[in-house]
Each structure stands twice: as structure tokens, then as C-alpha cells.
Chain A
Amino acid sequence: MNAESPKMNTVGRPSAPELAVETTSFKSLLGGRGLLQSEKLIFEKDDYSRTGVDFADIEIDAADLDGLLRDDLSLPGLTEPEAMRHYVRLSQKNHAIDLALYPLGSCTMKHNPRLNEKMARLPGLGDIHPLQPVSTVQGALALMDSLSHWLKTLTGMPAVAITPKAGAHGELCGLLTIKAAHEAKGQGHRRTVLVPTSAHGTNPATAAFVGYTVKEVAQTADGRVDVADLASKLGPDVAAIMVTNPNTCGLFERDVVEIARLTHEAGAYFYCDGANFNAIVGRVRPGDLGVDAMHINLHKTFSTPHGGGGPGAGPVVLSEALAPYAPKPWVVAGTAGFEMLEHDEGASSANFGRMCAFQGQMGMFIRALTYMLSHGADGLKQVAEDAVLNANYIKASLQDLMSVPFPDGPCMHEALFDDRWLEGTDVTTLDFAKAMIDEGFHPMTMYFPLVVHGAMLIEPTETESKDELDGFIAVLRALAGAAKAGDVARFKGAPYLAPAKRLDETRAARAPRLTYS
């Protein structure tokens, strides 16, 4: 080529990885991890004087508050760009439904439609005050009435107590309603609540909390309530039975009608834990099964967001016998629009009290109603069917490799495995779950229900496509193969690729450090 006339373009550069460079053991110079920024605590900023709001610094003459003013306020402030960085960096250390399958059994981690969020923020809904005159919130009361109608129709129950703020709060509401009903009928001596061994921990906790003696009911070999054992334990001291249906093993209680009959015959009430309502919504009405009270986790079945651990909402549907004892406030349709009964008055005078300061989780009511209206009766039925179909598909696709404690017949919305198949591998349920993190999935619920050894409870929900399920199944099959092939380090050190390695929970609990100092 001629040096005088450089015609060749020389601005090219390498555009494919250099194959000779080994990349797996790379360490950055100052501990950075690329996009995954480490982030200090806001309290570690050296200067607390900044603020992200522009309020005038006015002088006040607070003469009436002489001796009552504080001078010890020490809270860090962030400008808006600093705040954005801080929280966005932190957010990137979280797994989320929007990132991948989140198969936590009994938690119903389904897609959260964004229309629900938009509706909850409408002026006139998101910004109204709980103590505005009732004449100025007729739309809010109409919305609560509409939500109640949907809940009552879907469950086949005549009444609903709407104020409980979460599932456990709903259980409390249900049991207090039952307690009040017994007392009103001179049956206050009933002090026992029967709970199957497979129950959610909240069931015995709630029953014991309100002073009941908890007695466990045995389970049959096929994972259901042992009806004979139940019958032997029912008696004049029993106030209620608490049964989850579909139960925590992911199975429908075949004998539920008989359970209800025996319970009623003994003068007790049938409380149903509705945590797993997603499996039957639109297809089976608990009222047809003889249920007297059931809480509904709006954050599960009706897809209000889980928000990193709440807020939830746990309205309780009630039978005719229990309805008069529901807590206040009550929304009633009057001649001139909706009214709210907030004192012990009229129809609500037998109420057992008050669960919380105001009318419950309105923000969740709006989201749940939006979800219901979007799906309609037909869409909700399809929800239950697809949720059950997805779970059975997972079970069918894995049961040749992973052991199933109750193999006979279909499961409902969640597939339960135990750890017998890991025997001899030196890999535990926990190790297996942690290795799922490296493959990009959230672990399933582990070691629950307690009745199954090393339990792995997988609830895919209906909002997973077949593609996603097939990817998830492929990962679990590959991991199962690795465990059986003796690739133990893959599991014991897992997760390797998460924002943090396994954490020392013993240290956290021995010398608890709950605040920055």
C-alpha cells in the first residue's frame, strides 16, 4: 500500500470477546460488581443537612409549646437525584414476580396488573379521607359495596366483614366473630379449636392468641383431614374447626362436606382458611361446602401487590348465623344512599368490636375490584383452571425425578414434593432451593407444610406461560440431575450469583442489631 495515500479506514476496533481471556475469576479493583452497585446506608452520609423538598424555613413563635419542643432530631436527608440512585440501586438486589417465576407455595405470587395501580391512584379514590362526611364519599361506599357483592357471590356466602388488614387479621376477625356468636347463645364454655397438623402457622397462633386451646387433628396417608379422628375430637367443648381448603399439601379436602356436617352437628363452626382460594375461585363456592367463615387474602387471589411484605387485606365472608357479630364499621344501603354504621347501633349492635381505626384497606379494595371487573366471572373461572393446570403440569413433568408424598390423583394449584429423592446425595431441600437462585428463579416454599419431610411446595399461578414453565422445569430437572450426580459444591455454596452469599442468621439473632448507631 502506498504510504502517501492512506486510503484504508483505520478506525475499526475489536468487536467480539477475546477468546483467550479467562473471565470467570475476575475481580474488580475496588469491589465493584458492574451494574450491581454496592450502596451505603443513608445514615452513613457524612452530612445530614441536605433535603429533597423545598419548603421555606420560616420562623415561628411557638409560645404555647414552651418546654415541648425537640432539639435532638438526627435524620439524614437526600436530594432527589441521591434518593433515586439509592433506591434504584437497592431495588436491583431484589427478586420480583416481574423478573421471573416466584413459585412460593401458599403465597400465590401472580402477576400484578398495572391498571389496578392506576385506579388506586385516581383522584377521588386514592386521596379521600376516612372521616369525610359520608355524603362526600358515596362513591367509596358504593365501591366497597360492589367489592362485597363480588366476594359474596364468588364464595356463596351472605355477608362479609371487610375491615381486616391481612390474612392473619382476617383469621382473628373470624374467630372473634365465632366467639361472640357462641357467647350470645350461651355457648361461651366452648374453649377448643381443632386444627389439622398441616395448617398454616397462623391458624394455631390465632386460636391460641384469643384464648382457645388448640387440638390437632390427624392427617390421613393421602394428605387429607382424618375424618374419624376429627369426629372423635368434636364435642361440646369445641368452638370451631379451622381447615384450609384446598389444603396446604395442595389437595382438595374430598370429605369437606362431611367435615362441615360433623362440625355443625357438634355445635361448632367451620372456619375455612381461604389462603388457597385461587385454586377454586369462580368454580367452587365455599358456601356450598358448609363453611361458616373464611378470610380471603386479596393480595393472593385478587392480585393486590405483595409489596415486599404487605400491605395485605383479609376480608372475611360469613354465614347468616355469624353475620350479626361482625365488627364495625358497617356499610349499609339506606334510602338516601349509603350509610356507615360506626357506633353500636341498629343492625350492627351485636358487633364484637373494632379491628382497626378506619374502614380497612381501601387501597386494596380498589385494586381487587379492578382485578375482578377485568376478569369477570368467566375470567376468574379460567384463573382457577389455569392455576391448577400449571401446577399439575409441573408435577407431571418432575415426578419421575423428584418424590411426591401424595402421588395419587391430581393436585390443585400447588405441587408438593418431599426430600426422599435427595437421600444419599448430601444435598438438602435448603441447598436445592438456594441453587435455584443461581439459575434465576426464586425458591419454592420450603419445609412447609410441616407434615412432609423436607417439603418443597411449588405454586406457579395461572399467570405463567407454558414457555416459562418449561424453562423452570428444565432448570429443576438439571439441578436434580446434578444433585444425583454428586455435584454437591453447586448446592452447598449456593447461591454464587446472587447479590449476597448465604447470610449468617445465627449472628443476627445472638446479638441483634436492629438500628444504625
Chain B
Amino acid sequence: MRYLPLSSGDRAAMLEKIGVDSVDALFVDVPQLARRTGTVDLPKVAGELEVEAQLTAFAEQNVSPAKVPFFVGAGAYRHHIPATVDHIIQRSEFLTSYTPYQPEIAQGTLQVLFEFQSQVARLTGMPVANASLYDGSTAAAESVLMATRVTKRNKAVLSGGLHPHYRETVETLAHAVGIETEACAVAVDDEADVLKHIDANTACVVVQTPNVFGTATDVSEIAKAAQAAGALLIVVVTEVMSLGLLKSPGEMGADVVAVEGQSIGVPLSYGGPYVGLFAAKEKYLRQLPGRLCGETVDADGERGFVLTLSTREQHIRRDKATSNICTNSGLCALAFSIHMSLLGQEGLKRVAKINYAKAHKAKDELVAAGFDIVTPRFFNEFTVKLPVAALPVVEALAAKNVLGGVPFARLQDAPGFENHLIVAVTETVSDGDIATLVSALKEVAR
């Protein structure tokens, strides 16, 4: 077996040293009824050649986005990732190390995390950020939990533009820990509706910009009104690239920001692993969930980095921890940080503008073809209200080798939204792709 270095000679010598005559003697504590002779009913050892063939067979049954005009978004986005990113994250020292519990031999990972936190803080316009969470949806859920801790109130109001999967993730976690939630009616352009649901028990309002329909919103006034009522404003961002063009949540007054960072550095990979970005105002620093990396010095006075404030974490506080999170999304945070470094402010602005321009070109062409675009202001994603139900339309488009977007009905059964198709247009889309989408839609959605 190519991954197992012990030879049968080694095994015999080691058993002798241990003082037993067979490996079965080492499993003596296993109850008789659970001891198995032979192997479980699964295939036997296989070489690289065979395994590669099996995995390739799975891959070939899927339609790769690289092969077709591709407009699928709604919380995960296809962007170009520089080759350097994947090369660096596969270096042994990053790929095969673990959580930096021994800072003396993990300064590489730790400095990366410090840089990552700094990048996230600047991108979101917030003073502090953590070292990543599982993904944007779990970051949103953790932000609600944090809001109830700091306000000592127990209700969260969720906007009608919040991604339905995020809403469900927040609801599941919130209800599990006894927090009430109130969801506003689904709306293309009404993030401010959350304000009508604030009461004396409201810990936070959760809004999303750009929201699930693509609508970008200036949440400054929502921030002021929520804070005046003693509630925190949580801003969710599912398309992190939008922050290259749009005002940051921090500038608009957010208290906490929960972001899906996948668009920068992380491949689509059918939904995971992704990377949750979590940033907040300075005063909440000791309430942040997840791991934190902090600057310090070593015994020689040299700058160094350590995991810090770990007493909030499960392995010390146990049943009094701020959250039960253990692992974060380290390698995806590294990928994000490398891609972000390669972009820099200049590259990010440029690619953001290209996204904006392509999406608006697609919108213009669809409008010219007679389609109804319901999103008033957007970055790289907008919603078409089709004359017919959207679910069968995307299937018909797929049959024509066009992956044309996400029907809102795929995410949530909401009366009045059956015909809404969410269309994402990134820098990876060509003018020809747009023309193909428009002509295919004209055929199948009439």
C-alpha cells in the first residue's frame, strides 16, 4: 500500500518490542460482538491509475462552467484566480501544517493570518476582523449570536433581501440557542423594512448588500435608526468583489460585517470549502467568535504573532465558550490573502469595474430584447422577471448548454417570485456569452 511505510518485517519487530504476538492483541479491549474477521464490504486497495479514472468519471458527468456561457451566482461566483494562488497553497508548509498552536514554528501561518485580518478589516471598513469562519452563511449566524451577547437582547430581524439559505442557516442556529428571529417579507429593494420590526428586545437587524436579487443599498440611514433603537446593524455581503467598487459597510456605519470571501481566491467547488470573513467595531473585539491572531514580541524582542484571546474558545472555557467553533478555514483564508495581495487596491478596482460593466451590458441587451429587469442598482448581479416560471427556463437553457442563472424559486418558495431569475455576470463572461444568453432566453422564456 503506497501510503503505509511499515513492512511486515517492521511490524513483527515492533510487536516483539511491545511484547504481544499479533496486532489483534492490541485490539483486545474491543467487545467481542464488534470484532470483525475480514474486511467490510467495500472495494479493495487501488492504484493511482484506477482511482484517477473513477474520479474523472464523476467529473465528466458534470457540466464544467468553463465550457459554457455561465451566469450562475446567488452567493457563489466564478472569478479568475491567478495561477500563483494554487501553487502557493499547495506548498507543504502551508498545506500540511495545522492550527498554529506552537507559534515558534508557525510564524508563516500566523503572519499570513495577521495580514488576512488586516486585509479583511480594510476591505470591510471595520477596525477588527477574525482569522476566518467556515463560510459567509455561518459567519452571518455567528454575528447574530454575538449581537445577542453584547446587547443582552434576544431577537434578530432579517431583511427580505437576505439570501434565503443564509436566512435558514441563521434561523437554525439562532433557534437552537433560544434566539427569536423575525424575517421580513421577500423584497427586491427594501432592506430598510427591517426598521419596522425593531422592538425593545431586538439585538440586531441583518441586511444584505448587494442583496440576493443583486440590489445594492446605502445602509447608512438604517444603521443610524437601528443604533438609535439600541440594536446592532449587521451587514452581510455574499459577493466580496463588490467591495472593490461599493462603499464599505464600515463607512456606512455597520457594527458587524459577515462576508462570503469565496470570490477572491477560492474555487467554486460545488459549495465548499469557502471562507467566512467576520469584522466588527473595536469595542466588540473580545466578543468576536473564532480564532484571532495578534501581534506580540518573542524572547529576543523580535516581532512575532500568536493566536490570542483563546480563553473565549471551547478548549479553555468549555461549556462557557463564546461559540463552539474549533477549526477555521485556514487554507482558504490563505488563498484569499494571496489573491488579495496580487490584486491590491488597483487590481481589485479594475476587476470590479469590469464586473460592473459586463453586468450592465448584459442588462442593457436583455432590456433591448424586451425583458423586465427588476433590480434598480447593482454591481455584477441582477434579477430578470421572466414572463414564465424560472425553474423550467434554466433547465431549458441548460439543455442548450447555457447555465443562465439561479431561479429565486430554487432558493425559496415565495409567492410572486416564481418568475424571478438571478443573473450574475463576472469578468469571466465574454460578449459572445451575453449574446448567447439573450438569444437563448428569447427562445425559451416566451
Contacts of A62 in B (CB 8 A): 245, 356
Whether A388 touches B27, Cβ cut-off 8 Å, given contacts A60-B357, A112-B95, is yes
Residues of A within 8 A of B356 (CB): 60, 62, 65
Decide: B245 and A65 in contact? CB cutoff 8 A. Answer: yes
| Also in contact, A512 and B4, with CB within 8 A (given A75-B122, A139-B57, A327-B172) | no
B227 within 8 A of partner (CB): no
B349 to chain A, nearest CB (A): 7
Q: Determine if B372 is an interface residue (Cβ-Cβ < 8 Å).
A: no
Contacts of B104 in A (CB 8 A): 434, 437, 495, 498-503
Bound state CA distance, A468 and B14, in angstroms? 13
Q: Closest residue to B109 on the A side, CB-wise?
A: A308
In the complex with contacts A308-B99, A465-B6, A283-B91 CB distance below 8 A: no
B256 within 8 A of A: no
Q: Which residue of B lies closest to A171 (CB)?
A: B324
Q: Which of A75, A83, A109 contacts B98 (CB 8 A)?
A: A109
B interface footprint on A108-123 (CB within 8 Å = 1, 0 otherwise): 0101110101111111
Contact of A80 among B48, B82, B248, B251 (CB under 8 A): B82
Inter-subunit contact B18/A396 (CB<8 Å): yes
Q: Which of A315-366 contact B (CB under 8 A)?
A: 327, 342-343, 352-364, 366
Note all chain B residues with C-beta closer than 8 A to A165.
134-135, 138, 272-273
Q: Do the beta carbons of B105 and A437 come within 8 Å of each other?
A: yes
Instruction: Collect the chain B residues with CB atoms within 8 Å of residue A503's CB.
Output: 103-104, 296-299, 304-306
| Docked-complex contact A358 and B271, CB < 8 angstroms | yes
Residues of A within 8 A of B378 (CB): 64
- B-side contacts of A88, CB under 8 Å: 88, 91
Closest to A146 in B: B58
Measured between beta carbons, the chain B residues less than 8 angstroms from A381 are: 39-40
Restricting to B317-343, which residues have a CB under 8 Å from any CB of A?
A: 317-321, 323-332, 334, 338, 340-343
Q: Does chain A have a CB within 8 A of B285?
A: yes
Q: Is B175 an interface residue (CB 8 A)?
A: yes
The verdict on B230 contacting chain A, using a C-beta distance below 8 Å, is: no
Closest to A150 in B: B42
Contacting residues, chain B, for A208 (C-beta < 8 A)? 318-321
- How many whole Å from A274's CB to the nearest CB in chain B? 14
A240 to chain B, nearest CB (A): 14
Contacts between chains A and B (CB distance < 8 A), count: 701
Binds B, one of A13-21, A45-53, A263-271: A45-53
Interface flag for A407 (CB, 8 Å): no
Query: Is B369 close to A, CB under 8 A?
Result: no
Pairwise interchain contact B62-A94, C-beta atoms closer than 8 A = no
Chain B window 87-121, contacts with chain A (Cβ cutoff 8 Å), 1 for yes, 0 for no: 01111111111111111111111011011011101
Would you call B376 and A64 a contact (CB within 8 A)?
yes
Whether the Cβ atoms of A386 and B327 lie closer than 8 Å is no
Q: What chain A residues lie within 8 Å of B44 (beta carbons)?
A: 376-379
Interface contact B272-A74, CB-CB below 8 Å: no
Contact between A201 and B55 (Cβ–Cβ < 8 Å)?
no
A208, B320: Cα distance in complex, Å = 7
Is A154 interfacial (CB 8 A cutoff)? Answer: yes
Which of the residues A135, A252, A375, A466 comes within 8 Å of B13, measured between beta carbons?
Answer: A466
Complex Cα–Cα for A354 and B341 (A): 34
**B-contact bits for A244-281, CB 8 A (1 contact / 0 none):** 00000001111011000000000000000000000010
A285→B33 CA distance, assembly (Å): 10
B97 A508 Cβ-Cβ under 8 A: no
Q: Interface with A: B124-132, B190-198, B435-443, which one?
A: B124-132
A285: chain B residues at CB < 8 Å are 34, 36, 40
Whether the pair B321, A209 counts as a contact (CB closer than 8 A) is yes
Option from A127, A153, A253, A502 in Cβ contact (under 8 Å) with B42: A153
Which segment, of A97-105, A227-235, A476-484, faces chain B? A97-105
Interface residues of A in 70-106 (CB under 8 A from B): 70, 72-78, 80, 83-84, 86-88, 90-99, 102, 104
Q: Is B225 positioned at the interface, with any CB of A under 8 Å from its CB?
A: no
Q: Bound state CA distance, A205 and B316, in angstroms? A: 10
A363–B14 Cα distance when bound, in Å, is: 37
Give the interface residue-count category, chain A. Answer: 35 or more
Q: Is B69 an interface residue (CB 8 A)?
A: no
Bound state CA distance, A27 and B341, in angstroms?
33
Partner of A136, one of B15, B52, B315, B403: B403
Q: Mark A439-480, 1 if CB is under 8 A from B, else 0.
A: 000110000100000000000001111101000000000000
Determine how close the nearest CB of chain B comes to the CB of A26; give it in whole angstroms.
Answer: 15
Across the interface, do B3 and A375 meet the contact criterion of CB distance under 8 Å?
Answer: yes
Q: Please determine whether B3 and A463 come into contact, CB atoms closer than 8 angstroms.
A: yes
- Taking a contact as CB atoms under 8 Å apart, the answer to whether B298 and A357 are in contact is no
The residues of A that contact B305 with a CB separation of less than 8 Å are: 503
**CB pair A375 B129 closer than 8 Å:** no
List, in ascending order, chain B residues with CB within 8 A of A360's CB.
Answer: 271-272
Contact yes or no, A130 B323, CB < 8 A:
no
B150-158, B199-207, B287-295 - the one binding chain A: B287-295
Contacts of B270 in A (CB 8 A): 125, 128-130, 137, 140, 358-359, 362-363
- Which of chain B's residues 385-430 have a Cβ closer than 8 Å to chain A? 394-395, 398, 403, 406, 410-413, 427
Cα-based distance from A155 to B8 in the complex (angstroms): 27
23 A–B contacts, CB within 8 A, in A order: A42-B341, A48-B345, A52-B347, A53-B82, A68-B216, A73-B243, A128-B269, A153-B40, A165-B134, A165-B272, A201-B313, A257-B33, A308-B330, A311-B329, A357-B163, A376-B46, A410-B20, A466-B6, A502-B298, A503-B305, A505-B308, A508-B294, A512-B292
List 9 tightest A-B contacts by C-beta distance, closest first: A77-B344, A358-B271, A307-B331, A139-B61, A353-B172, A130-B271, A124-B59, A311-B273, A52-B342
